[in-house]
Chain A
Amino acid sequence: MKKEKKKKVSFARTWPLHLMLLPGVLVLFVYTILPLLGNVMAFQNFQPILGFFKSKWVGLDNFKYMFMLPDTFNIFRNTLIIAVGKIIFNLVMSVFFAVLLYEMGGKHFKKMTQTICFLPHFLSWVILAMIFRDLLDGSGIINTVLLKLGMIEEAIVFLGSNSLFQGIIVSTDVWKEFGYGAIIFIAALAGINQELYEAASIDGASRLQKIWNITLPGIKVTVVLVATLNIANVLNAGFDQVYNLYSPIVYETGDIIDTYVYRMSFESAQYSLATAIGLLKSVVSFVLIVLSNYLAKRFANYRIF
């Protein structure tokens, strides 16, 4: 048990380094740490005109009201379902796509496919939502085709159906993001030792066997790492997408924490209630980040902090 002797680093020697850190810390402080103080709104009956200092303190009233609302349970549930769905399906699709691409011959075709699948990532949801709204409308192209083919009796209002809405949110997000998500796996695949494949060929392994026994284990660590890091995102279900696609009829299954907080604060001026919900989200997210850090360290030997 020999303790490694730590070289004592004197502040006198390192202070220039601290100084170099200063600009970054300042930015972080002004734009991230200071606004945190605004969370006191959650414990006040906040009125913009009176400000933080004169608004009335109400203790935990906002939190009590929040738990009384039937919405609160709903929005947390919706957020979880949508976000978890997105994380899982995005991961599966990205890995699947990366492996397919890896197995593909033809350099140019490969590059082109990758680029095309990569493109939707750069489109804003504001634009995509308009397109999807048109496609999925009661008299939109999808309904028209299904009706003409006799597959359905009457038009389905896709975006107005509580049973379909979450599925649509997840699948459109996967469509948009899987190409982008595949990049990290494509990079990981490039690092696999080619000799393994040659050896497997000599042993007479089939293509599927090679994928199963060489390719997938080769990127296992990356997959686990991405999955665990995503745990921190479990409460981020994608504000801009949901906001642009939902409507009052699907609030029950489509309203997520972020859209709810937005409506409460900017449309209804319920700053205190919105802050209380936002604060709760932050607390849960914090726990999740700590958890994902722990898991990442455990399974992938990767530490964020």
Chain B
Amino acid sequence: MKKKWTKTWALLLALTMAGSLLMACQSSKGGSDAAAGDTAKDNAADTAQGADASQDGQDAQTEDTGAQVDPYGPVSEPVTLHIGRSEDTNASYLEGQDSSNNYIVNHISEQLGVEFVYDFSVASDTYETKVSMAITSGEMPDVMTVTESQFRQLAAAGAIEDMTDAYNTYASDNLKAAYETTQGISFGTVTVDGKIMGMPNISPGADGIPMLFVRGDWMEELGLAAPKSVEDIVNIVNTFREKKGTTNGLVVSSDIVKENGNNTYGIDALFAMYGSYPKHFVEEDGKIVYGSNTAATKEALTGIRKLVEDGVIDSSFVVRDGSTCEEIVTSGQAGVFFGAWWNMSWPLNNMITDDPSVYWNCYLAPLAADGKYNTAMTSPSGSYLVVKAGCSDAVKEAVIKTMNYQFDIDQDQGVSLKSDPSDPYSWTSMPFSLLLSRYDDKEGKALAVVNGEKEVSELSGEALQWYESYMAATEDVAAAEAANNLSGWAYVRAAGLLGQEVGNMNQVFDASYTQTESMDSKWATLEKLEDETFLKILNGEASVDAFDEYVEQWNALGGTDILAELEALRQ
């Protein structure tokens, strides 16, 4: 009898456990079902509620179509946009606001009658993985930004909507003009069979041009002239070391060259001086070649290796990342590095906070033998906004109209929306993680101020901000610092130089900015081979002769196919 009871108990226990497991599985499923049901209901309610309103809207719309479409007017029916975006962890907000609820998002939302729902908003370094997972699991949000290879996969699989009509109908003139500044590079990638399948971002071309930053206060103190050649730079480094006790020379991180430019602590400029453009597909004798594999690159490696050998570049660079380099620069352990124009503001302005006497100069150096500054130009687009297949026309309309607002707001730096001028602004606080600028944006804005091309009254938005900051900081750096008004000053000085020197620059555009199919599967291997070889040569672990072996391997491992594909695409 007793035994039987034990058995029954055991049975009961086991059943409960198995049952609870199943329940757990089911409840999670049921949970999401219920949630889905809720949203469906909400939507239904929305549509029911909006039915009257949209009825009116519809009428208005029918009257409108054919006539004028207001690119800033409300969307033809209330829409809820599900968005996947990357969260800028450095952005600051007004109290109680965040990336989904701030004065910019709310403004766009009100104007368009669109509700923005963030399906996910993750830090930028995990964003790409998150998107991959969203695609793999079939839970794509309505709108999100993707990389070029993701874009091509999505387009090939028919998983995204054709945006051609929506763009042509609803894009504002400002936005269209901005896309035109890229001279067709932006749309080149997203046009599939004559249809625009995604909206590319436009980052300013200035981002990709490296500049040399040197501690200006030290230069003045030691009576050093503006550098023009590599020898000048070496001289400055050595003088700083002797007189200023810097422990590091030219600060370089292990990311020596980046294909999208924007390379703080890189040495792209040193390569370019030799006419070598690593990571760019350039034209040589009418054929597309990979810039990392040219004879000029070998020459550049030999030259740069010598700088490492002489200690101008610290041999530790191979294990340094950006944040380590930043520490070295901002702590005053070094006074020379290559960066992008915006580095003048960040991280360099932070140093002024601690010591107002710190002053940085920027130069376009070293110059090539013909006295010009060589630089590879980067693609204005690297990320693409796509709309999930099956979304309604209203969703597409909402997307383009949101972009209209995002572009204008960013041009204006949110000034007209701010209730207080000191309110924080960042383009990353807007619904789409898509930078919409102009390819010539930065140079243009800076020049207007420096050259006095425009009257102050004509300036608005970012340009006005820069101007005011420039004037304030030129007068009194410490006061401007205290008023948190240094960035415009820094931008004008750095980007202004790019604008002024545009005639002395030899800007090299890529023969092709497209990624091909073979790149999807082989690029990782090829890139690893390249990075490793270059670092080893510069480190002295391998001799420069390893370069020839690398080129051979690169070709054998799929490089030849890639070049052939690019060539074929060009025809």
Contacts and interface: CB of A to CB of B under 8 A. Distances in A.
A160 B315 CA distance: 9
A199 interface: no
A176 to B, nearest CB: 20
B153 A48 contact: yes
Interface string A18-59: 011011001100100000000000000101111100000000
Given A19-B11, A23-B18, A252-B532, A247 B520 contact: no
Interface in A174-199: none
Given A247-B319, A263-B524, A160 B135 contact: no
A273 B138 CA distance: 22
Contact of A155 (B13, B149, B316): B316
Contact of B535 (A20, A48, A133, A248): A248
Contacts of B149: 269
A40 to B, nearest CB: 14
B247 A139 contact: yes
B7 A16 contact: yes
Contacts of B316: 137-139, 155, 157, 160
A270 B528 CA distance: 13
Contacts of A268: 523-524
A68 interface: yes
Given A48-B136, A51-B136, A155-B316, A70 B154 contact: no
Given A23-B17, A269-B149, A162 B524 contact: no
A20 to B, nearest CB: 4
A71 B247 CA distance: 36
Which residue, B21, B154, B318, B319, has most C-beta atoms of chain A within 10 A?
B319
Contacts of A251: 528, 532
B508 to A, nearest CB: 25
A267 B14 contact: no
Interface string B135-172: 11010000000000110011001010000000000000
Contacts of B11: 16, 19
Contact of B14 (A16, A249, A266, A272): A16
Given A249-B532, A249-B539, A49 B135 contact: yes
A249 B254 contact: yes
A23 B19 CA distance: 9
Given A248-B528, A249-B254, A270-B521, A49 B157 contact: yes
A99 to B, nearest CB: 38
A248 B531 contact: yes
Given A139-B247, A139-B248, A20 B159 contact: no
A149 interface: no
Contacts of A267: 524
B515 to A, nearest CB: 12
A69 interface: yes
A280 B536 CA distance: 29
A275 B339 CA distance: 38
Contacts of B314: 138-139
Contacts of B529: 70
Counting chain B residues whose Cβ lies within 8 A of the other chain, the interface size class is 35 or more
A172 to B, nearest CB: 15
A269 B520 contact: yes
Interface in A240-276: 247-249, 251-252, 263-264, 266-270, 272-273
B458 interface: no
A20 B27 CA distance: 22
A266 B525 contact: no
B182 to A, nearest CB: 26
B318 A70 contact: no
Contacts of B17: 20, 22-23
A159 to B, nearest CB: 5
Contacts of B25: 30
A262 to B, nearest CB: 11
Nearest to B248: A139
B144 to A, nearest CB: 13
Contacts of B321: 247
Contact of A27 (B13, B21, B159, B248): B21
A162 B541 contact: yes
B53 interface: no
B524 A270 contact: yes
Interface in B246-263: 247-248, 254
B523 A247 contact: no
Interface centre among B17, B248, B521, B539 (most CB of A within 10 A): B521
B159 A49 contact: yes
Contacts of A157: 315-316, 318-319, 539
B222 interface: no
Contacts of A26: 18, 21
B248 A247 contact: no
B10 interface: yes
A160 B539 contact: yes
B63 to A, nearest CB: 40
Of the candidates A68, A138, A273, the one having the most CB atoms from chain B within 10 angstroms of its own CB is: A138
A133 B333 CA distance: 18
A266 B525 CA distance: 14
Given A23-B18, A27-B21, A71 B525 contact: yes
A23 B14 contact: yes
Nearest to A274: B524
Given A139-B247, A157-B316, A16 B10 contact: yes
B553 interface: yes
B134 to A, nearest CB: 9
Contacts of A160: 315-316, 318-319, 539
Contacts of B417: none
B451 to A, nearest CB: 43
A162 B540 CA distance: 12
B357 interface: no
B64 to A, nearest CB: 36
B229 to A, nearest CB: 27
Given A20-B14, A23-B21, A138 B525 contact: no
Given A20-B10, A133-B319, A247-B254, A266 B129 contact: yes
A50 B156 CA distance: 10
Interface string A73-97: 0000000000000000000000000
Contacts of B14: 16, 19-20, 22-23
Nearest to B316: A138
A159 B532 contact: no
Interface in A138-163: 138-139, 154-155, 157, 159-160, 162
A26 to B, nearest CB: 6
Interface in B282-327: 314-316, 318-319, 321, 324
Contacts of A133: 319
Contacts of A248: 254, 318, 528, 531-532, 535
Given A47-B157, A69-B525, A249 B557 contact: no
A47 B153 CA distance: 7
Closest 8 CB pairs of A and B: A138-B316, A268-B524, A48-B136, A249-B318, A160-B318, A20-B14, A19-B14, A160-B319
19 contacts: A20-B10, A20-B14, A23-B14, A48-B135, A49-B159, A70-B529, A70-B553, A138-B315, A157-B316, A159-B319, A160-B318, A248-B528, A248-B532, A249-B254, A249-B318, A263-B528, A266-B129, A269-B132, A273-B521
Interface of B: 7, 10-11, 13-15, 17-18, 21, 25, 129, 132, 135-136, 138, 149-150, 153-154, 157, 159, 247-248, 254, 314-316, 318-319, 321, 324, 333, 520-521, 523-525, 528-529, 531-532, 535-536, 539, 541, 553, 557
Given A49-B154, A139-B248, 12 more contacts: A16-B10, A26-B18, A51-B138, A70-B529, A138-B314, A157-B316, A247-B319, A263-B524, A267-B524, A269-B149, A269-B150, A273-B521
